[in-house]
Structure 1
Amino acid sequence: MIQRFLAPHRTVAAGMLGRLARRAAVCALAFGIAGAHAQETSSIVIKGKDGWLFPGWGSLTQVDVRGIDNTTRLIGQARDLLAARGIKLEVLLLPDKTLFYEDRLPDGQTLSPEVKARYGLILCKLGQAGISTFDDAAVLRQLKASGQEVFYRTDQHWTQASADATAEAMARMIGRDVAKLDGRPGTGMTLGPLFNERRYGDLAELFLTADEKKQVGREVYSVRRQAESSNLVDDAPAPVHVTGHSMVQPYFGFPQKLSSLIGRPVSVNWNPGNVGPWIVLLEYVESPAFRQQRPQVLVWQMFEPTFAQGPDASGLWDNASIMSANAWLDRLKTALSH
């Protein structure tokens, strides 16, 4: 997919590694997950009760602790490289849809205790490594408790309400971590009203037959319009950049809401989930946009079910995205040195 950069006004040393390994062990013990497990094979889409669909690329029973450790270590190295160039890394860890709708899974399919604890385990390891993040699962649980849906029924993506609530939590974290944002206050995006559109979710559209699609039906999506007061030709630099998969694409509203909250432009690049977070970050730091204007804050969106899959996860990412961890790190170093 072509890179997308949205400014809202426009559309480790050995000793350190040893300490991280010991801290990771503490997290695993605390969450009762005592070993590394390979990901089990699953179908592309899980057909649940009452027309609910779930992406099938995360295990319902097993947790790859070793992969989580490796990913955390690599993120920590990226954090240090970015920090050396004055860029603050903030990790946005999005939880799995099944955590919120386990009761809609097919009969006989449930989440194991280890998988239920996986999100907390990853948060613990990120915290032990000193990587800035927050508990988005808790944010979304509170939203669901208020009676709002946090994911669409036939789609892998979150709702507008979830994107807004997560943007609020992210804005608070940036406010805590960054004393003063660059740019002129009040240049964030002016949000327009919400409107509804009725269509099939992506899991239904992409993976179901015509008859199956009719059975699950369309659903209503809430989408925020562009405010008429927004200046579409304003070239103000964005001190915050968001990189990730399709959850953070402008359609679902996260970057626009974040821009409005911090009062500054926010840029974003994203690609489908099968490309993976590793190549998407490289696409940004290797781009002319990054070379021309480096952000003060880089928000890197990761996804709980695939967090354990490093840049070398052959057969899981798109073939063009596969590379060794060392090759990925070398490309990041090269991009940052320009």
Structure 2
Amino acid sequence: MGRNMIAGVVAAAAAGWLSLTYAREAMTRAPAPTAPSSPSAQGQPAPVDIVEGRDGWLYPGWDYLVDERPAETASAIEQIVKMAEAARARGSRVIVLLIPNKARVHHDRLPEDRAAWTAQYADGFEQLAVRLRDRGIEVETVWPQFSPRDAHWTGEAGEAAARQLATRLAAFQRSKGPKLPVPRWVEERRLGDLAALAKSRGDLRWSEDVFQRRDYVPPIPGKPTVEVVGNSFIDTYYGFPQELSRQLHAAVEHRVSYSGQGPWRAMRDYLANGEPRAAVIWQIQETSVSSFTPGALP
């Protein structure tokens, strides 16, 4: 079996595993919902694990918005500042890569009650970025496309985020460094993680979707000066670290911890065990701030 075929099999297996790991841990660890902050606000829909939207779209029910959970968000902000300062004390430039929840990006396909509820909290994501910047944190926000029945961004969105971020890292670009080739797109059919979770409970309505990922290419060798830490969004399956490496013409390390609490675990692990890097990209999804606060880490 050739190296590319082996890589493809491994990638497909990893995708299924990381998707179900993320979904199942999120389902068991997400905190109870909070009530609306205003008595005149649209009432919150009943909590469910999987939200069924329009046109067959599925949303993770554990994805709370940062502005509907102010106490949890405030606590998470303090922890972001604390951990970023610890990384900077090791000589690292820290950039927080903020990813919004799927419900914000694809608001138009939410069911009517959840669309009305989400509309009440339309500004929270950008306000989170502003609050972090006011505390001295360098922040890059993205607005990615998500897969219809999966909790993650698409491979195209992961690569686009890497190209956007690379513009901030021009100082680390090696103009004469090795050039990573652009691999071909590989299509594979599988259940999205939310559809797979539904199937595990006996709901067989959902069919497999076509996902695109880049074929395997050997990474750029050498000692990394940039490290990306976060959860499954930065797994190589979605192409983010490879595309960032290709843009910088330099090796890029990535440290992944799966689930909603992954960004907290990954940064904690980097601070405890990782080699100091010149730059650390800390990927944090909105749900990691609102639903999976760092205080719940084991």
Scaled by the length of structure 1, the TM-score of the pair is 0.68
In the alignment, does 2:229 pair up with 1:224?
no
Which residue number in structure 2 is paired with residue 311 of structure 1? 294
Letter matched to residue 296 of structure 1? A
In the alignment, does 2:185 pair up with 1:194?
yes
Q: Matched residue of 2:165: which SS?
A: helix
Mapping 1:47-126, distance limit 5 Å: 47-59=52-64, 63-110=68-115, 111-126=117-132
In the alignment, does 2:24 pair up with 1:42?
no
Letter matched to residue 222 of structure 1? Q
Q: 2:134 aligns with which of 128, 133, 141?
A: 128
Contact 1:244 1:271 (8 Å CA) reproduced:
yes
CA shift for structure 1 position 41: 7.5
Mapping 1:145-224, distance limit 5 Å: 150-175=145-170, 180-181=171-172, 185-187=176-178, 189-209=180-200, 212-213=203-204, 215-224=205-214
CA shift for structure 1 position 114: 4.1
Letter matched to residue 300 of structure 1? W
Which residue number in structure 2 is paired with residue 237 of structure 1? 223
CA shift for structure 1 position 154: 0.8
Letter matched to residue 165 of structure 2? M
Which residue number in structure 2 is paired with residue 335 of structure 1? none
CA shift for structure 1 position 89: 0.7
Contact 1:155 1:203 (8 Å CA) reproduced:
yes
Instruction: Give distance in 2, aligned partners of 1:257 and 1:59.
Output: 30
Which residue number in structure 2 is paired with residue 15 of structure 1? none
Q: 2:271 aligns with which of 285, 303, 327?
A: 285
Which residue number in structure 1 is paired with residue 281 of structure 2? 299
Contact 1:188 1:260 (8 Å CA) reproduced:
yes
Contact 2:65 2:286 (8 Å CA) reproduced:
no
Instruction: Give distance in 2, aligned partners of 1:286 and 1:190.
Output: 34
Instruction: Give distance in 2, aligned partners of 1:162 and 1:82.
Output: 27
CA shift for structure 1 position 116: 1.8
Q: Render the CA deviation track for 1:31-88: whole Å, top value 9, x for unaligned.
A: xx99xxxx99832211222221111112369612232222222222222222222111
Percent identity, please.
Answer: 26
Aligned length: 256
**Structure 1 pair 207–286 and aligned structure 2 pair: CA distance change class (3 A):** farther
Instruction: Give distance in 2, aligned partners of 1:239 and 1:266.
Output: 7
Instruction: Give distance in 2, aligned partners of 1:273 and 1:43.
Output: 18
Q: Render the CA deviation track for 1:109-131: whole Å, top value 9, x for unaligned.
A: 22434422111111111111121
The 4+ residue runs of structure 1 with deviation greater than 4 A are 182-185
Which residue number in structure 1 is paired with residue 18 of structure 2? none
Alpha-carbon RMSD across the aligned residues, in angstroms, is 2.7
Q: Matched residue of 1:43: which SS?
A: coil
Contact 2:199 2:206 (8 Å CA) reproduced:
no
**Structure 1 pair 60–49 and aligned structure 2 pair: CA distance change class (3 A):** farther
Q: Matched residue of 1:197: which SS?
A: strand
Instruction: Give distance in 1, aligned partners of 2:94 and 2:114.
Output: 37
CA shift for structure 1 position 204: 0.9
Instruction: Give distance in 1, aligned partners of 2:173 and 2:186.
Output: 33
Contact 1:51 1:153 (8 Å CA) reproduced:
yes
Instruction: Give distance in 2, aligned partners of 1:206 and 1:96.
Output: 19
Contact 2:256 2:262 (8 Å CA) reproduced:
no
Flag structure 1 segments of 5+ consecutive residues without an equivalent: 1-10, 12-32, 141-149, 314-320, 323-338
Contact 1:244 1:270 (8 Å CA) reproduced:
yes
**Structure 1 pair 186–155 and aligned structure 2 pair: CA distance change class (3 A):** same
Letter matched to residue 63 of structure 1? E
